[in-house]
Structure 1
């Protein structure tokens, strides 16, 4: 068996060994297992039954990791993306008015479009056509959105009596539990403790017991029965509606930009740039399957860095993480006890980490800077990822006309801006 694995994943060729890969996969799993709780919590706010959302998160993460490991043979963890799950729940379902079943259909259609791009040279061309500053603006805007979402979920902010928002009641046990959990999470991040978010969830749950804000063991049962509630629950009745295709367009753009940009950096860090086409193909297939399985789209997780740091060089580590995701089914009876006061700090910290991208934004070009800042500001303040992105993409080519730029704006950029503008006009009509 050992010889088979070494040969199949070319361990010696990539300078690794069986023990290193397996250990890295285990560490990677404990780094990202929080997604089961956090993603299902967000999806449940879109109307997806909590138990079903947990199952779909587990299954798509397991399948995504297996596909990435076998198809691309690189140590990248695939799981539902933070930020994109918010786009699914709060924009497609919340703002655009799609049912969660129609939103799942939009996810699968986006997956098909992504597959068309990934299996052709179009993905790279589209990615190259979009200015880096706008991609960075999307990352920062999503970060702010997650911070706001976490603050609300942890009741650290609430609707104000005389203002839009105000500080939550600091004498509330729920708020105190959130604050203490957030403090510990920040300390763990600073100390770079492996499995930070897992320890954060455990500590937050224990605090929940002390402050009386937990659920009960057994609220989420060990049963595959909820699978039927979300697997192949897609509803295509909305294909004649503008909102459906508006959602497909926005989601496809976000998925492609985030996946291509992120995996390009990850494969470059691994010195495996030649694997990027296979990585994109595996990613696109998993996005398509996300809609079928009943969850928001997947991405190559930022936490994949835990695999690199542990010495992983091949897909065997990813497959190990995927198999552990499948084994997570035994945790289901205990997931119902985790309160939002334990989940909220994770959203806040992930959001804060995404804000670091702001320092990379080129502020010397005023037109580009203002376009990016429109995205950054409007995503959280409109509570719509789609509207924030659209505003920035429309503004960029218009503002660039009044600058002395020597670089020519891509025709693809004009087309994308026009499509976003048409989308706005149709909504107004």
Structure 2
């Protein structure tokens, strides 16, 4: 206890070991749904679902421990929602690349993020990306994730004439998801910790009652092997064909999208959560900002090697902070909880996609909140923001939303005498995105 007191300065932060531990448990309860959702999402690419469970837990443990011990902040990290959807449904299932290619992109993103953090380039990037696009991108991702949740739930289905239509409500999957959505919504409204996880478990119970799933023969088990996906991020680097893909425009777009979303998602989460601890200034800056960003980059790099999509700071950490978490000991506690969960894989792996669909829908709701910050009275802002948002769900691609958002922003500002709002970084991105479109048209 004396070592913990001295290292984390518990008395100075007006907290205790017990308070930090309980805060960590609460944070774990609010974000442990990722152990179910991440394997379900990424396994759609052909990745081994059981290996993904272990990798998700390990990446969370490593990154969160590093955040707690190195940055000493009460913030947990895990594979990010939105980023995993982009990985699976855009890069692999839409663009047609292998999941190994996508892991390589995550690995490259992590390395770039490390370099940007080391050389203090973060501030430069933040200043030069149009603010309206920063607000629009989370909204588009929110709708994109909601669409995936609706599809997994069976709320919607494809139609040859109208593209989509209402799903078959005689299907058990629909009712499993509906029950989960109702339970989750009620618990969230009542501010119950662990609402999303409880909703998933409630939906799974309906699946058990309906006979769609069955209880595993054992509850406690050795964690599944990660051998099927471990180290695959560096495999494309070992062949000339792999390097052709790595040096392609598509890889540049994919890496940029991972980097862009992860960077601003992390910054937003860090500023929002840390501000509740009382150590941030009026601009949202705090002493350990660089260490926190470095931790995020480290987590993404290690996560890609283990075999998962980008790791990011979790806004659910705010629940632990609200419960009294003030130091990195809270994060250490979260990591310990995920360590215990590693041995409960039979329970987590039996949960069907329909039961996790409500989690996707609710996370989509949380992500669209920044839409209120967009100035729709200025059409030179509103149109690019709108295109950014709608291109993501309607093209089933987060990357396309960013591409057409940046292109439209530059075009409308340039031809409406607002060139001063276009930064050099935006011009560079516009050039690269136009080049990509030309190569797509020419089938190169």
- Which category describes the TM-score, using the shorter chain as reference length? over 0.9
Which residue of structure 2 lines up, in the alignment, with residue 239 of structure 1? 243
Alignment of 1:368 with 2:381, yes or no, is yes
SS at match of 1:166: strand
Conserved? CA contact 2:266–2:313, under 8 Å: yes
2: CA distance, partners of 1:294 / 1:220: 25
Q: Give the match for residue 258 of structure 2.
A: 251
| 2-structure distance, mates of 1:107, 1:335 | 25
**Matches of 1:175 and 1:287 in 2, distance apart?**
34
Q: How does 1:88-237 map to 2 (within 5 A)?
A: 88-217=87-216, 222-224=221-223, 226-234=225-233, 235-236=235-236, 237=239
Match of 2:355 in 1: 342
Distance 1:37 1:48, change over 3 A: same
For the Cα contact (< 8 Å) 1:219–1:337, is it kept in 2? no
Equivalent position to 2:427, from 404, 414, 418: 414
| 1:190-227 C-alpha deviation (Å, 9 max, x unpaired) | 11111101111211111111122225515999344521
**Partner of 1:165: helix, strand, or coil?**
strand
Shifted more, 259-268 versus 28-37: the winner is: 259-268
Q: Which among 331, 335, 339 is matched to residue 318 of structure 1? A: 331
| Change beyond 3 A, Cα 1:368–1:278 | same
Give 1:381 shift.
0.2
SS at match of 2:165: strand
1:10 and 1:424 map into 2 onto residues whose CA distance is: 54
Q: Look up the match of 1:35.
A: 34
Partner of 2:288, secondary structure, is helix
The range that moved more, 255-264 or 203-212, is 255-264
Q: 2: distance between equivalents of 1:10 and 1:322?
A: 20
Separation in structure 2 between the aligned mates of residue 239 and residue 215 of structure 1, nearest angstrom: 45
Displacement, 1:403?
3.1
| Within-5 A mapping of 1:261-410 | 261-270=268-277, 271-272=279-280, 273-405=286-418, 407-410=420-423
Q: Is the 8 A contact 2:220 2:343 kept in 1?
A: no
> Counterparts of 1:356 and 1:225 in 2: how far apart (Å)?
37
Please tell me whether the aligned partners of residues 217 and 335 of structure 1 are also in contact (alpha carbons under 8 angstroms): no
TM-score normalised by L of structure 2: 0.92
1:409–1:55 distance in 2 versus 1, CA, 3 Å = same
Does the aligned pair in 2 maintain the 1:201–1:343 contact within 8 Å? yes
Q: Structure 1 length normalisation: TM-score?
A: 0.95
TM-aligned CA deviation for residue 314 of structure 1: 0.7
Q: Which moved more, 1:122-131 or 1:255-264?
A: 255-264
Cα RMSD for the two superposed structures = 1.8
Q: Which moved more, 1:207-216 or 1:67-76?
A: 207-216
Give, in angstroms, the shift of residue 428 of structure 1: 2.5
Aligned-pair CA distance for 1:10: 1.2
Using the TM superposition, give the Cα deviation of residue 250 of structure 1 relative to its aligned residue in structure 2, in angstroms.
2.3
- For residues 31-82 of structure 1, give each alpha carbon's deviation from its aligned partner in whole angstroms, at most 9, with x where no partner exists: 1111000001001001110001101100000011001011111111101100
The secondary structure found in structure 1 opposite 2:45 is coil
- Per-residue CA distance 1:382-422 (angstroms, 9 max, x = gap): 00111111110111122112335485422112112222222
Please give the alpha-carbon distance, in whole angstroms, between the structure 2 residues aligned to 1:219 and 1:368: 55
Question: Using the alignment, how far apart are the partners of 2:110 and 2:193 within structure 1?
Answer: 32
Q: Is contact 1:239-1:245 (8 Å) kept? A: no
1:425 aligns with 2:438: yes
State the alpha-carbon separation in 1 of the partners of residues 289 and 274 from structure 2.
7
Q: Which runs of 5+ in 1 are unaligned?
A: none
SS at match of 2:422: coil
Give the superposition deviation at 1:423: 2.3
Q: CA deviation at 1:373?
A: 0.9
- Change in Cα spacing, 1:286 to 1:197, as seen in structure 2 (3 Å) is same
Q: Which segment is superposed worse, 47-56 or 13-22? A: 13-22
